[in-house]
A and B are shown apart, each in its own frame.
Chain A
């Protein structure tokens, strides 16, 4: 059956179009002047430039990590352009002023920005290459004191909040890509939920890479003040290009006492073609810090990118804090993913729960890498990890690398992992009931991923399920 399985892989990437807009792109290359230019373009406060330069100098002394279980040719950091923005994006008074070409782009991607067409119950920040195109629903949000804007704008409007929290979870020295991001990040989303506020709608950022030969280095900062709640969604797409593009983002979540942040990602960057040419290198640092009684929950559905390297993590600093990680990672064709999480238990009675579902098809290589660390003072820490892999076809690989480090004897840490193939008997059973091979695979895979999908907000869950169907289409026959 494997040969027929292989025949099914070939559905086109539907977000692969290119938007034709005039851009303001700085020439390739990276030095301190480039960083000054980026900072200058964004009219940033002085502390920001200083921080960027420190990060840059630190980055120069760092080495690109080689430990992830992925292979790629060396990246020439001097050949990339570090800033690209559509010329038409200026300081806009209202979304009605946004370039219609950009509005059309987002509409095509299923993200209506204009008032009359907006999705109900979701506020959207649309990021196009290096800048934010616009943010919807701002008035409604400001009524309850929620700040949702681009990070660039936050630096101008709320510099004290940014200065206080930026780098507080992921310091610029954290790792090679985080240092690079800290030096050159161009935009991203900023969220602040005031004390005791339950954010009235889901917040969402939609990232779009459009320009060629640029890197995208966005940075997201979410601060949930004491006792607040927010659900945040993130989506990503890029045009089909035959060269690889670097996306090195940083996401920092700060959940103060009793706050809850739910962060959901559907990552569908261009993955390269069937021969493995092109696609996004998705090297991302995502981390949250949970104070006493706070909860941070990461849910991700990773179907895109040529290479994924990311470990959304939670530092469980406060007593009784909770960290969760729910992940579906799918690799097909020549995609490689090395993804997982880190749960660092510092406070007492901290809990973490990890559910990872990896699906490998084609010649894809999927690695789960997860660290559960219980420090000496973390009395009664609890972790449960479940990590399942499914193989579709016989040229792919699934790898599981858990690191369990326990330094407190009152901890309970449990890890379970399994790897199995998609069952021929399952496919035949479903076909015998009238379903096509595609429907059968899609149904089996959805069932396999159910525990993760149920963590996603409704609209996202549907999108994720469809995406999965599309991604695996062509993988079974």
Chain B
């Protein structure tokens, strides 16, 4: 399975466009070496028990090295939230597209640039790449390291409070058919800074392609980072994305993962609470249809005392879609006074939808309070009856309650334009667009 990738790697590393500093070449070399040794994970691997990646392994994807595609601003406006206000780096088929991007007026103390440019212009930042993610044992991260080419580098310096979000947009169009991209991102939040960074993975057209992204994040002492990932790939696409975060003392990290795309997707969000008094909130919403397979894996490692973590993931599964949620909270012996709460709720809309959930607690400290709850079910029959008794038709009542179930997580987003947009997408999905959004949100609908 890996020979094709090794050959592809040989061509890639010889390519003129792949020129990079020694540090990056070394990461690439190690990456292909580890990937060749590991191969694609199988379902015997506990972390991949419910997700078979053989559809990815069986394809022969071509590495997209040179700029390609024919994407206009009008094609992607719908994905840009606030196209005029935000700082946006747009990539088409894996390569930076300056004509679609808006990063001209960055305030002082903020760096946002494509990785391929950073190789030359920001060697300091580039040297931090590869320090957090586990490319030793995680095959997809090794593969990303091997084919690391372009991506985004974001640096918020000490005490800088950025009010406008930074948007990193990865667009794939039909020119990328049978191609693969390995976006690599680095987000560095220095002490006491505050920022919002959004990663979007979207598609123009409906090509079959493979996106394998890795984002490394470090949140320094006292810093706050809101980090959203919006995955709306083409329905035929394959998407694997790993976010690895390290948090210092008193930092706060808010993650939101929204996933509706790809035929097979896997999103990993891992955070290490490496300083006292820090907190992480990991929320997410996945809505799947047809034969989509969507897998989320989260890991929160409490290494230091007096930290909190909150997690709320919801899934809405229709048709014969298959959802997987695997959430682990790990508490080291030193991490006393840890306060952890994890909730995972899934709504199965159709007879053939399927969910596999594995919420885990691994606790080695004694003075902790950790809970997790998981529910799987249908719409609450009592709520449904209540609505019907007030004259709301069965079908509309169902859609309303389904929407309310999903909107409950979207409500946790701080950024209003993203919240409104995701609410609108969700409303449209359940055909309740004619109703005022504000009157619906927040209801709890999975039955007891």
Contact = CB atoms under 8 A, between A and B. Distances in A.
A421 B377 contact: no
Interface in B247-302: none
B348 A419 contact: no
A74 to B, nearest CB: 21
Interface string B332-364: 010010000000001011111111111111111
Given A376-B352, A400-B361, A409-B351, A414 B374 contact: yes
A72 interface: no
A426 interface: no
A406 B354 contact: yes
B48 to A, nearest CB: 14
Given A395-B333, A409-B350, A409-B378, A415 B366 contact: no
Interface string B318-344: 000000000000000100100000000
A391 B366 contact: yes
Contacts of B59: none
A392 interface: yes
B448 A414 contact: yes
A419 B361 CA distance: 8
B374 A415 contact: yes
Interface string A401-420: 11111111111111111111
B331 to A, nearest CB: 8
Contacts of A398: 361, 363
B366 A392 contact: yes
Interface string B206-220: 000000000000000
B429 interface: no
B46 interface: yes
Contacts of A394: 333, 336, 365-367
Nearest to B357: A404
Interface size class of B (residues with CB under 8 A): 35 or more
B413 interface: no
Query: In the complex, which of the residues A395, A397, A406, A415 has the most CB atoms of chain B within 10 Å of its own CB atom?
Result: A406
A425 B350 CA distance: 49
B361 A417 contact: yes
A397 to B, nearest CB: 4
Nearest to B50: A405
B372 interface: yes
Nearest to A407: B354
Nearest to B346: A406
A409 B353 contact: yes
B368 interface: yes
Contacts of B448: 412, 414
A67 interface: yes
Given A409-B378, A410-B378, A397 B364 contact: yes
A402 B358 contact: yes
B362 A406 contact: no
B376 interface: yes
Given A402-B359, A404-B357, A2 B366 contact: yes
Given A67-B46, A401-B358, A419 B351 contact: no
A420 B358 contact: no
Given A414-B448, A420-B369, A409 B349 contact: yes
B21 interface: no
Nearest to B448: A414
A417 B356 contact: no
Nearest to B368: A419
Query: In the complex, which of the residues B346, B350, B374 has the most CB atoms of chain A within 10 Å of its own CB atom?
Result: B374
A203 to B, nearest CB: 37
B447 interface: yes
B371 interface: yes
A402 B374 contact: yes
Interface residues of A, number: 35
Contact of B363 (A67, A393, A419): A419
B373 interface: yes
A396 interface: yes
Contact of B373 (A397, A409, A415, A420): A415
A410 B370 CA distance: 30
B127 interface: no
B43 interface: no
Nearest to A368: B361
B2 interface: no
A198 interface: no
B394 interface: no
A220 interface: no
A389 interface: yes
Contacts of A403: 356-358
Interface in A319-365: none
A419 B374 contact: no
A404 B373 CA distance: 11
Contact of B348 (A2, A393, A409, A414): A409
Contacts of B42: none
A399 interface: yes
A364 to B, nearest CB: 11
Contacts of B376: 404, 406, 411-414
B364 A406 contact: no
Nearest to B367: A421
B431 interface: no
Contacts of A415: 359, 372-375
Nearest to A415: B374
A418 B371 CA distance: 4
A400 B368 contact: no
A399 B374 contact: no
B83 to A, nearest CB: 39
Nearest to B49: A403
Contacts of A392: 366
A10 B349 CA distance: 55
Contacts of A67: 46
Given A412-B447, A420-B368, A404 B355 contact: yes
Contact of A413 (B349, B351, B374): B374
B348 A397 contact: no
B289 to A, nearest CB: 14
Interface in A395-454: 395-421
A1 B63 CA distance: 60
A413 B364 CA distance: 28
A448 to B, nearest CB: 14
A72 B346 CA distance: 38
A406 to B, nearest CB: 5
Nearest to A416: B373
A393 B364 CA distance: 10
Contact of B371 (A376, A407, A410, A416): A416
Interface string A205-249: 000000000000000000000000000000000000000000000
B351 A389 contact: no
A135 B376 CA distance: 47
Contacts of A393: 366
17 contacts: A2-B366, A376-B351, A376-B352, A389-B361, A391-B366, A393-B366, A398-B361, A404-B357, A404-B359, A405-B50, A409-B353, A410-B351, A411-B348, A411-B376, A411-B377, A413-B375, A419-B368
Q: Which 10 A-B pairs have the closest CB atoms?
A: A409-B348, A391-B366, A404-B357, A412-B377, A400-B361, A415-B374, A413-B376, A421-B366, A418-B371, A397-B364
Given A409-B350, A413-B377, A416-B373, 13 more contacts: A376-B351, A394-B366, A394-B367, A399-B362, A400-B372, A402-B357, A404-B374, A412-B375, A412-B378, A413-B376, A415-B359, A415-B372, A415-B375
